[in-house]
Amino acid sequence: MSSALPDFDTIAGDFAFLDDWDERYRYLIDLGGQLPAFPENERGEDTRIRGCASQVWLYFTQNGDRLDIVGDSDAAIVRGLIALLLSLYSGKTKSEILAISAEEELAKLDLKDHITPQRSNGVTSMIAKIRAVASQDG
């Protein structure tokens, strides 16, 4: 479902190419603008991610053992952070998702020093939800 998004390695390469954080923030916002449409009927308490300062929703569909994820937020930068996570996780099998160290992958982007603690906590909450869904049977 996130086929419009570049893959994570491409995003990491683009981040390395960009000279400063103003450009990287603009790139994040642009990525957020490429998110697939979020199904309005799935925007509710059961898809809302707690621990995020902004409103954040993640919706999962399963295609065989693959998980497709769509997400949305009411904040532009957070939509970009969702796009990063979708590029990292969406369309992968549950075992592939569980094998990914998001912390190691996101460290390549040097985000921790450049996003607020609230946004960092939100990213951690989104990762926890994705991993929890990937851990479920069925």
Q: Which residues are annotated as catalytic?
A: 52
Task: Give how far Cα 26 sits from Cα of 9, 45, 62, 74, 124, Å.
Answer: 18, 30, 32, 16, 22
Angle at which helix 8-17 crosses helix 21-33, to 10 degrees, equals 150
Half-sphere exposure of 119 (CA within 13 A, CB side): 16
Token pair of 129 as six digits: 């939800």
